Amino acid sequence: MVCHFCGHPLPMDALFCTHCGARQYGTEAADENPPADIQPDWEEKGHLFNLPSLFITVRDVLFTPVLTFRYLNRTPHLFNALLFAVLCGSVGFLLNSLWQSLMDFRQYLPQGYEIPVFLSSAGVKLAMIFIVPLGIAVGLFIGAGLCHLFLLLTGGAKQPFAVTFKVTAYAYGSTSLLGFIPVLGTVAGAVWAVIIQIAGLKEAHRTSYIRVILAVCLPAIGCCCCAAAGVVLLLTGLSFSGLSGLF
């Protein structure tokens, strides 16, 4: 067998990798000694803005979400997960904004309007840099709260809210870095985030996929239904007002 994280060859009964130190899963020794909880590398190192730990955590979440969230720690401390999501989300937004600014610049360059348009666009994006972190934090609490509520309704919430929040924060924080890919990065990141969140919540809460899928998708479906109902009511009101004007 090989290490799940670094690919180093290991004995069949290895509990930890002799090369990178990562705990192994699915082995006989690991099954006999399941850990109580495991912190993501970002939290385990205990240092803020530790870039190597941040990249390790992003790699683990993107490529091994099942193993990463299977024994996720259940401590109620949310600051590290929140900081991770805010940092990654802000960087992803900045990278995506740089691409958009570059495309705007090239678009307006032949007409000779590149300076005012580019500067005005850059000014808006600069202001957004200070607004985005707050928006990410608020959105995380709302999104994780709705997800945990629907997990409770579907019977899938086997762990406290902190676990749901951490899975959501690490899933969306890691995938937001895909914003460096022009055009498709944001869409691919959103889809990948949902997939990671479903896999992570299933493992962290020790529940079924169907319960998690319902908990993740029902809020979005409910929002779409409310938006559709609002549009129908608006159109109905406009049609009635138009008809009343005829008489």
Q: Band the pLDDT of 31: cuts 50, 70, 90.
A: very low
Domain check: are 24 and 116 in the same one? Answer: no
How many Cβ atoms from other residues are within 10 Å of residue 217's Cβ?
13
Q: Band the pLDDT of 150: cuts 50, 70, 90.
A: very high
Domain check: are 29 and 66 in the same one? Answer: no
Inform me whether the pLDDT recorded for 224 exceeds 90: no
Domain check: are 24 and 57 in the same one? Answer: no
Q: By the 8 A CB rule, do 185 and 179 touch? A: yes
Domain check: are 85 and 136 in the same one? Answer: yes
Domain check: are 86 and 1 in the same one? Answer: no
Number of domains in the chain: 2
> What's the mean per-residue pLDDT of the chain?
78
Give pLDDT tens digits for 55-71.
Answer: 889 999 999 898 889 88
More confident residue, 14 or 76: 76
Residue 130 has a pLDDT of 79
Give pLDDT tens digits for 102-148.
Answer: 665 555 555 554 444 445 555 566 667 778 899 999 999 999 999 99
Q: What does the alpha-carbon distance between residue 157 and residue 26 come to, in Å, rounded to a whole number?
A: 24
Token duo for residue 142: 């709302």
Domain check: are 6 and 53 in the same one? Answer: no
Inform me whether the pLDDT recorded for 72 exceeds 60: yes
Domain check: are 1 and 55 in the same one? Answer: no
Domain for residue 168, yes or no?
yes
Question: Range of 24's domain?
Answer: 1-34
| pTM of this structure | 0.73
How many Cβ atoms from other residues are within 10 Å of residue 81's Cβ?
24
What distance separates the 2 farthest-apart alpha carbons in the chain?
Answer: 86
Domain check: are 99 and 15 in the same one? Answer: no
Calculate what percentage of the chain has a pLDDT beyond 70.
68
